């Protein structure tokens, strides 16, 4: 699993490459377009320069997005990349509309395009292959590091490929007297680019509203957790995503009579196995439960049971007149089924019968609404 710094460095390298290619192509297209009198090629050159804006946006988002948690952003800055993906998706939709609109406007206005010459067509083909190469390498890096933002920028490069293809079609059409080919190609290209932009908007929008991971992935996480020794069941498993990373919350049910430290270590093992099985997990929170309370709602919204200080104070009043009271070494409390089970630990030399002592203690405290029963255990 790559670190945020490694992902940032990979994003920065491929985006700086994009800046260099877009700058070179922008200058060359404008010069060649001016020489051959092609407004379409000049416009495509300006389009290449506009790509520098999105490249700069990607560099800025990557710089701030890879930073870890701080005082104001406890979960890190990954959502900056999500916002950048929204922006790039919007740009793609705008580009799609601009391609189609400019071509339709050229058709209806019957704009005459002079024959550009074969060398201009060959140059446009070279520019097309350069942008396709940039698309392929950017998308490969994006998939390797799991960056939706970088993949969005890759598809922006692909939109440039398609727009350059439209320009080349216009140049070829005008060379042979069939300028209408440009309009047909532009409409098809606009639909393709718009579809990619919409998909990016949809995915990043779902991420912003904390849409869960696919069901099969959630089931896989549950199976991994259930495979840990000591885990009796799992419930309230919740997932969300941020900038190619996954976040998980879950409740792990363990035996009610084990120690707190053992239950916590079982939860730690669940966490370790899930991180190994799902490398995209960057934030995992588990809650250890002594019983399965799935579907019962948030316990903080309901009246709770008394805590140890109140329990001890109340039991002192009820049991202080019993002979066993001076022999109680400690009280162990178990909060189960909405009531409290009390385990009384007696001195090992306590001269009392465990069963009769238990019966007396139970009878004395049975009027307490939170009291379940008492168990006797002698120290050894």
Average pLDDT value over all residues in the chain: 78
Please state, in angstroms and rounded to a whole number, the distance separating the CA atoms of residues 304 and 324: 29
Please state, in angstroms and rounded to a whole number, the distance separating the CA atoms of residues 79 and 87: 12
Can you name the residues that pair with 345 across neighbouring β-strands?
A: 330, 377
> Residue 225: pLDDT above 80?
yes
* Gyration radius from the chain CA atoms: 34
User: What pLDDT digit, counting tens, does each position of 89-111 carry?
Assistant: 787 688 777 767 766 776 676 65
The DSSP code for 192 is H
Q: What is the CATH number of domain 215-296?
A: 3.30.70.1350
Domain ranges of the chain: 4-208, 215-296, 308-378
Question: In angstroms, how far is the first alpha carbon of the chain from the final one?
Answer: 50
Record: fold of 4-208: Alpha-lytic protease prodomain-like (1.20.1510)
- Name every residue whose Cβ is closer than 8 Å to that of residue 131 and which is 6 or more positions away in sequence: 21, 25, 157, 158, 160, 161, 164
Please state, in angstroms and rounded to a whole number, the distance separating the CA atoms of residues 251 and 272: 15
> 364 and 325 in contact (C-beta within 8 Å)?
no
Can you name the residues that pair with 340 across neighbouring β-strands?
A: 335, 371
In 3D space, the residue among 308, 351, 307, 362 whose CA is nearest the CA of residue 330 turns out to be 308
Report pLDDT for 168. 75
Can you name the residues that pair with 287 across neighbouring β-strands?
A: 251
Report pLDDT for 161. 79
Q: What is the CATH number of domain 308-378?
A: 3.30.300
Q: Greater confidence, 307 or 177?
A: 307
Span 227-253, average pLDDT: 86
In 3D space, the residue among 137, 134, 124, 141 whose CA is nearest the CA of residue 157 turns out to be 134
Span 12-35, average pLDDT: 79
């Amino acid at each position: 699993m790559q670190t945020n710094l490694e992902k940032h460095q990979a994003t920065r390298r491929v985006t700086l490459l994009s800046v260099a290619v877009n700058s070179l192509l922008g200058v060359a297209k404008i010069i060649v377009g001016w020489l051959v009198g092609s407004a379409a090629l000049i416009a495509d050159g300006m389009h290449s320069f506009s790509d520098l804006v999105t490249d700069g946006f990607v560099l800025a988002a990557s710089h701030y997005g890879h930073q870890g948690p701080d005082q104001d952003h406890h979960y890190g800055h990954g959502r900056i990349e999500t916002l950048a993906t929204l922006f790039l998706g919007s740009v793609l939709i705008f580009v799609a509309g601009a391609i189609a609109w400019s071509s339709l406007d050229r058709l209806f206005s019957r704009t005459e395009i002079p024959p550009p010459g074969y060398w201009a067509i060959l140059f446009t083909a070279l520019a097309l292959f350069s942008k396709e190469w940039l698309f392929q390498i950017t998308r490969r890096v994006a998939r390797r590091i799991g960056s939706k933002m970088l993949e969005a920028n890759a598809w922006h490069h692909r939109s440039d490929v398609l727009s350059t293809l439209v320009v080349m079609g216009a140049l070829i059409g005008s060379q042979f007297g069939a300028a209408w080919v440009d309009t047909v190609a532009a409409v098809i290209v606009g639909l393709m680019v718009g579809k990619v932009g919409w998909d990016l908007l949809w995915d990043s929008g779902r991420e912003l509203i904390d849409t869960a991971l696919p069901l099969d992935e959630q089931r896989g996480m549950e199976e991994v957790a259930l495979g840990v020794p000591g885990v009796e069941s799992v419930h309230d498993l919740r997932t969300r995503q941020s900038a190619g990373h996954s976040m998980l919350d879950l409740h792990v049910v363990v035996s009610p009579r084990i120690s707190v430290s053992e239950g916590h270590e079982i939860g730690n093992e669940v966490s370790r196995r899930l991180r190994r099985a799902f490398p995209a997990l960057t934030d995992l929170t588990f809650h250890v439960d002594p019983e399965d309370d799935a579907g019962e709602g948030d316990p903080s919204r309901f009246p709770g049971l008394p805590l140890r200080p109140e329990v001890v104070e109340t039991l002192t009043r009820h049991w202080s007149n019993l002979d066993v009271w001076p022999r109680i070494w400690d009280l162990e409390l178990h909060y189960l089924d909405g009531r409290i089970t009390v385990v009384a630990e007696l001195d090992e030399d306590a001269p009392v019968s465990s069963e009769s002592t238990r019966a007396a203690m139970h009878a004395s405290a049975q009027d307490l609404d939170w009291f379940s029963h008492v168990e006797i255990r002698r120290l050894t």
